[in-house]
Amino acid sequence: MGGPLQGVKIVELAGMGALPFATLKLGDMGAEVIRIDRISEVPADPVARPHNFWDRGRRSIAVDLKSADGVEVVCRLAEGAEVFLESFRPGVVERLGLGPKVLLARNPALVYGRLTGWGQEGPLAQSAGHSLNYESLTGVVRAIGPRGGPPVPPLTVVGDFAGGGMSLAYGVVCALLEARRSGKGQVVDAAMIDGVMSLAAPFYAMHESGMHTDSMGSNLFDGGAPYYNVYETSDGKYVSVAPIEGHFYALLLEKLGLDPGELPDRDDPKQWSTLRDKMAAIFVTQTRDHWCALLEGTDACFAPVLNFSEAREHPHHVARGTFVEGGTMPEMVPSPRLDRTPGEPGPSPAWTGADTDPVLEENGFSAAEISSLRKGGAIA
């Protein structure tokens, strides 16, 4: 049957990082994604390249957006689409002759998704930035790090992909549902700074209530709590434990051979360092494999700390078919998993601009128009 977004046509102005992650998620769920690439990126000698995970589930056409004819090509594609996505700084797309006013005038039901770092307005809106900057301004980076040490940059999972790409994809689907009721499109302003702030909202609430302090490495979820922590094993590897609930914690102590009556009160943060030292002294006596055999699969809330290569081979991921089989690079199957209309990873373009002619033909451009556009340099 195809994914749940089958029949949804998306036009994407090529961008970096967070934007292609958003369209990857939408394409995985069945949407038809047409990416508008720069004409300058078309290879001089086009040859089919290996499948690229970042490009999967979309087709590529190459258009000169500095050409009036090229801009008109994009406008005509947007007329027949339900979604248009871009990730330029505020005002750039308008200067190209596109933007929400132009495209919504031609397609009033269009969902126009704009992904930026700082948002469409505000004193930083025109500034360059990257994931670490958005994570920093929201308080996230300042909350991650060892006690007494410096803040630690998190992976771009937080800013680019969760706060940016996933936030945009979520906003697009919400706007699509509303557009199908009202017949009217709207602009989705997905700012990574907003997305990260939204993800951090529970910690703002915890901070306000006193459950989370500004002292790094001293709180429940930042490595302060000994029962929500990572421990080194005798072979220099690591394991994680997270038995927050009392009965799970009791099971962990039982497995470790620790008598609760001889341990400090786990609910007293002043005793955490002592309790953490006792637990560390136990875990470092055996290898990671030993602790996996003893604790993995129990209710002790345990997992080994794996690197990416190890994670690919873990039996749980293998059993669930988490990774696409036979790929040229590690890539995951679409998630979340729907039982009736599951997503499906699609192919990637053979090369930048490889799908220009068939995409234009399918969208009402005649052979004569395509030839004229190519001669004029508007398309590759």
Task: Write the pLDDT tens digit of every residue in 81-136.
Answer: 999 999 999 999 999 999 999 999 999 999 999 999 999 999 999 999 999 999 99
Check whether 52 has a pLDDT greater than 90.
no
Per-residue confidence band for 329, with pLDDT thresholds at 50, 70 and 90: confident
Domain membership flag for residue 216: no
Q: Is residue 123 part of a domain?
A: yes
Q: Is there a single domain that holds both residue 271 and residue 123?
A: no
Q: Does residue 243 share a domain with residue 95?
A: no
User: How much is the pTM?
Assistant: 0.94
Clarify whether residues 159 and 288 are in a common domain. Answer: no
Q: So which residues are the catalytic ones?
A: 130, 160
Residue 368 and residue 287 share a domain: no
Q: Characterize 349-366 residue by residue with b for buried, 16 or more Cβ atoms within 10 angstroms of its Cβ, and e for exposed.
A: bbbbbbbbbebbeebebe
Q: How does the average pLDDT of the chain come out, rounded?
A: 96
| Spatial separation of the C-alpha atoms in residues 144 and 232, rounded to whole Å | 19
Contact 360, 44 (CB under 8 A): no
Here the CATH number for the domain that contains residue 68 is 3.40.50.10540
In a shared domain, residues 38 and 95: yes
Structure confidence at residue 193 (pLDDT): 98
pLDDT at position 202, please? 97
Q: Is 120 helix (H, G, I), strand (E, B) or coil?
A: coil
Question: pLDDT confidence of 328, banded at 50, 70, 90?
Answer: confident
Which amino acid appears at position 233 of this protein?
T
311 within a domain of the structure (yes/no): no
Q: Say how far residue 102 (Cα) sits from the centre of its chain.
A: 29
Of 304, 337, 356, the residue that ends a domain is 304
Whether 43 maps to a domain, the answer reads: yes
My answer on whether 49 and 140 are in the same domain is yes
CA distance 362 to 380: 17
Instruction: Answer yes or no: do 196 and 338 share one domain.
Output: yes
Average pLDDT score over residue span 14-19: 94
**Enclosing domain of residue 282:** 238-304
Residue of 59, 57, 126, 55 lying closest to 88 (CA atoms): 126
* Residues 155, 93 share a domain: yes
Region for 213 from its dihedrals, namely left if φ exceeds 0, alpha if ψ lies in -120 to 50, beta otherwise: beta
pLDDT in tens, 116-127: 999 999 999 999
| 101 lies in the same domain as 154 | yes
State how far the Cα of 169 lies from the Cα of 166, in Å rounded to an integer. Answer: 5
- Tens of pLDDT, residues 306-325: 999 999 999 999 999 999 98
pLDDT surpasses 90 at 2? no
Tokens of 340: 């009736």
Question: Token pair for residue 257?
Answer: 């051979």
Q: Smallest Cα–Cα separation from 113: which of 85, 90, 92?
A: 85
Do 268 and 186 belong to one domain?
no
